[in-house]
Structure 1
Amino acid sequence: MATYTLEHPDKGLITYTDKKRYLWLISMLMPAFPLMGVAVFYQTGIQWTLALPLAVNYLILPFVDYLVGSDVNNPPEELVPQLEADNYYRILTMLTVPLHFIVLAVMAYVVGTNDLSPWMVLVMAIIAGGYSGLGINTAHELGHKQTALEQLMAKIALAVPAYGHFCVEHNRGHHVLVATPDDPASARLGESIYAFTLREIPGTFVRGWNLEKTRLNKQGKATWSTDNNILQSYLMSLVLQGTLVYLFGWIMLPFLAVHNFWAWYQLTSANYIEHYGLLRKKNDNGRYERCQPHHSWNANYIMSNLALFHLQRHSDHHANPIRRYQSLRNFDDIPELPNGYYGMYLLAYIPWLWFRVMDKRVLALPHINGDLSKVNILPSKVKATYALYGQGQEIPQ
């Protein structure tokens, strides 16, 4: 276990040991978890065993998060440069990329070479899509980094879920307008995840495409060209998924259609819970205040963070986008989710229950303290929200 040290002129010897150093292997191996269900299926011949990864994600992991609890430990800031220079951590993210390809190929093989029921083909597509959705998380970590290799690996990872516009849109769109009414990837109070999906998926694609088009036009290059980062990734998706159709037949068309949508929906689910109801102040000059930790919902739950490269320490990520996962920090008095992401996804899929749990949490945040003018509210729900929670507050015109 590596220990980082620094002799500080004022604080003396500072030391830090990342006790989770080798536990981060869980994040690397998480995309391969569906192979467990495949192995059990080939041992027993029982089709429902293929669904075991669904139970692990949506039942066991939230329960383990509840039992194990949170980790609020932060590395000393003085040692963060050493921690981020340790290549071990970035190697883990890059080794994860080929696993996404391998797992999709194996899942396609199982569907294409076995007489599965239509329901089990659907389940397999959802499982494959859920774990390919982790490819977007892998690309998220890699795509924020400032090395050409990591950015290339991000582009390759996005080929698996066929979401090649993500890094362009996320880095240059979402991070600029996060927690504002102008961001299609920031959910509004009173907005169900299903309404959000219809706004977020097409909205982010259009924004990503326009951002890349603008970049290329400024360089005097054609939008429809090999210089287009989005098209590069989508071309890899076409080759990958076209090969699967060629190898395993037409059953791949519905399988991949569901796979792709469910992979996208995992990102949509994450975006929905990460900024729900949160709002950055608009200054007199028309620009929004700088993104602060309290503009994102955080989750310090140990197990799900170990499965997601610390994605759930989202508050620090948005305040410091290029900071690597191993050095992301917890802060006091920031929005904190009551469970890890998979538990919150289940809650979000039942809108009335989500609103009941989360709306009051939004209003109780210290920086909001019941002031609805500081909340990002769905426009069609403004009057109803003020009537329910406003207590005499004036509805903005």
Structure 2
Amino acid sequence: MKLLHYLKYFLFHGIGLASVLALLAGGNWIIAGFVAIVLFYVLGDALLGDDTTTPEFNLPGVLTVQLWLALPLMALITFVSVWSMLGTDPFGFGAWIGAVSGYDVLAARAANTWLHHLFGVLLTGLMIGIIGTVTAHELTHRTWDKVSMLIGRWLLAFSFDTIFSIEHVYGHHRYVATIDDPATAPRGRNVYYHVLASTWKGNVSAWRIEKARLVRVNKGLWSVSNAFLRGHFMSLLLVAAAWALGGWTAALYFTACALWGKSLLEIVNYMEHYGIVRDPSTPVQPRHSWNTNRRVSSWTMFNLTRHSHHHAQGEVPYQDLRPFPDAPMMIGGYLTTIIVALLPPLWHRLMTPKVIAWDRDYASPGERKLAAAASQRSGMPAFIEAAGTLSQ
């Protein structure tokens, strides 16, 4: 049983390798791969229930290596995805795969249509979100570990989001559930607007945080010491690598994948904190984040799902996060909730009662006043009506 607890986190790598196989197989296999992965999460979370165990791990180094392996896996997925839309065969990759496997991947690739390339973007962006951002989230919290920080920032470079290692760790965790946090979506906000607003404000916040750090350590703002600038340069290097493989078409293809991966991060931010408020003078507690303990999401996302404990104690490694079954709960697992968030009418229909219940069951007296004001600002009749009841 102890071995199973280590092996379950390798499901993450299996999903990444499955996406590679789908991209290599080409054609409708790319569509099938994307659909299969989404269904694996949605149906798996629905049918397999919650995982509320917190086992002890005697070999935490194994768990760290599992995280580090995400970088070569992410590089492989991205290379194969870009390769799948080229007219050439860089490094003789396709010929080699065909010789080893007996499957003519070059012929399969030649039959790809614009629809297959579209699903290639969707699949690769999804992998950038899962393999790249989820792992980087864990690694960039380990500010004391230079190797983990370096790997984490390179993983974030695939989604043009290395500023996450600045703003998320030093900004979001400090200001979560307040009006000063770019990643916390106020009640009533549309998810598509949030992607744009959070991206812009997150970059502004990261620039200010990094500028203040450089002043403290007496370093120049426009220098190699600036992690904000270095991070965006890392992303530019990846775009340049795609261009080297296949010109501007390949560079634009990779950019589309990266922007979709970045959008997924902001959608996740949206659903993890939507509508929750906090008195800025009080510490962050488990009730200030939406949580889920769905089994498939937890095992394949390094317990990102246990977000309530993560925000209460951001330095706790993923394997030690507790499930907090009494914390406010999301609609479902992560992919399920992402799909619902992308359908605003359905999202508001399901989440408005949850937010109103949060005001009633979780908010402190001071937070109820903040919640009533936030509900009034939302412009949504259900929230406005609830605000009147809350203030009585």
TM more than 0.5? yes
Given candidates 202, 205, 208, the residue that maps to 1:204 is 202
Residue number in structure 2 paired with 1:180 = 178
Q: Secondary structure at the match of 1:169?
A: helix
1:290 aligns with 2:259: no
Higher helix share: 2
1:22 aligns with 2:15: no
Within 5 A, what are the aligned runs for 1:97-112? 97-112=71-86
CA–CA distance in structure 2, aligned partners of residues 384 and 253 of structure 1: 45
Is the Cα–Cα contact under 8 Å of residues 58 and 346 in structure 1 kept in the other structure? no
Given candidates 14, 17, 31, the residue that maps to 2:16 is 31
Within 5 A, what are the aligned runs for 1:280-319? 280-282=278-280, 288-319=281-312
Shift of 1:187: 1.3
CA–CA distance in structure 2, aligned partners of residues 202 and 58 of structure 1: 28
CA–CA distance in structure 1, aligned partners of residues 38 and 186 of structure 2: 24
Shift of 1:216: 1.1
1:148 aligns with 2:156: no
Residue number in structure 1 paired with 2:90 = none
CA–CA distance in structure 2, aligned partners of residues 382 and 61 of structure 1: 34
Q: Aligned partner of 1:203: which letter?
A: K
Residue number in structure 2 paired with 1:94 = 68
Give CA deviations for 1:198-237 in whole Å, capped at 9, x if unaligned: 2111111111122112111222212222112233232222
Q: Secondary structure at the match of 2:116?
A: helix
Shift of 1:378: 6.5
Question: Under a length normalisation based on structure 2, what TM-score does the superposition of the two structures give?
Answer: 0.86
Is the Cα–Cα contact under 8 Å of residues 239 and 255 in structure 2 kept in the other structure? no
Is the Cα–Cα contact under 8 Å of residues 190 and 377 in structure 1 kept in the other structure? no
Is the Cα–Cα contact under 8 Å of residues 245 and 252 in structure 1 kept in the other structure? yes
CA–CA distance in structure 1, aligned partners of residues 170 and 58 of structure 2: 23
Q: Aligned partner of 1:357: which letter?
A: L
Give the length in aligned residue pairs. 364
Change (3 A) 1:215 1:139: same
Q: CA RMSD in A?
A: 2.3
Shift of 1:128: 1.2
1:264 aligns with 2:262: yes
Gaps spanning 5+ residues in structure 2: where?
A: 88-108
Q: Secondary structure at the match of 1:361?
A: helix
Is the Cα–Cα contact under 8 Å of residues 159 and 261 in structure 2 kept in the other structure? yes
Shift of 1:153: 1.3
Residue number in structure 2 paired with 1:357 = 350
Given candidates 220, 229, 235, the residue that maps to 2:233 is 235
Is the Cα–Cα contact under 8 Å of residues 302 and 318 in structure 2 kept in the other structure? yes
Shift of 1:393: 4.5
Shift of 1:316: 0.6
| Bigger mean CA deviation after superposition, 175-184 or 27-36 | 27-36
1:163 aligns with 2:161: yes
Q: Aligned partner of 1:263: which letter?
A: G
Gaps spanning 5+ residues in structure 1: where?
A: 2-16, 42-46, 283-287
Residue number in structure 1 paired with 2:34 = 54
Is the Cα–Cα contact under 8 Å of residues 293 and 334 in structure 1 kept in the other structure? yes
Q: Secondary structure at the match of 1:209?
A: helix
Change (3 A) 1:252 1:86: same
Residue number in structure 1 paired with 2:100 = none
Residue number in structure 2 paired with 1:254 = 252
| Bigger mean CA deviation after superposition, 382-391 or 96-105 | 382-391
Change (3 A) 1:204 1:123: same
Q: Aligned partner of 2:267: which letter?
A: S
Q: Secondary structure at the match of 2:20?
A: helix
Residue number in structure 1 paired with 2:319 = 326
Residue number in structure 1 paired with 2:133 = 136
Shift of 1:373: 2.9
Shift of 1:387: 3.5
| Bigger mean CA deviation after superposition, 384-393 or 251-260 | 384-393
Is the Cα–Cα contact under 8 Å of residues 362 and 368 in structure 1 kept in the other structure? no
Shift of 1:84: 7.5
CA–CA distance in structure 1, aligned partners of residues 240 and 122 of structure 2: 19
Q: Aligned partner of 1:30: which letter?
A: I
Runs of 4+ residues over 4 Å off in structure 1 = 369-372, 391-395
CA–CA distance in structure 1, aligned partners of residues 345 and 390 of structure 2: 24
Shift of 1:348: 0.5
Given candidates 221, 224, 243, the residue that maps to 1:223 is 221
Is the Cα–Cα contact under 8 Å of residues 15 and 37 in structure 2 kept in the other structure? no
CA–CA distance in structure 2, aligned partners of residues 27 and 58 of structure 1: 13
Q: Aligned partner of 1:20: which letter?
A: H
Given candidates 103, 119, 126, the residue that maps to 1:123 is 119
| Bigger mean CA deviation after superposition, 261-270 or 47-56 | 47-56
Shift of 1:189: 1.4
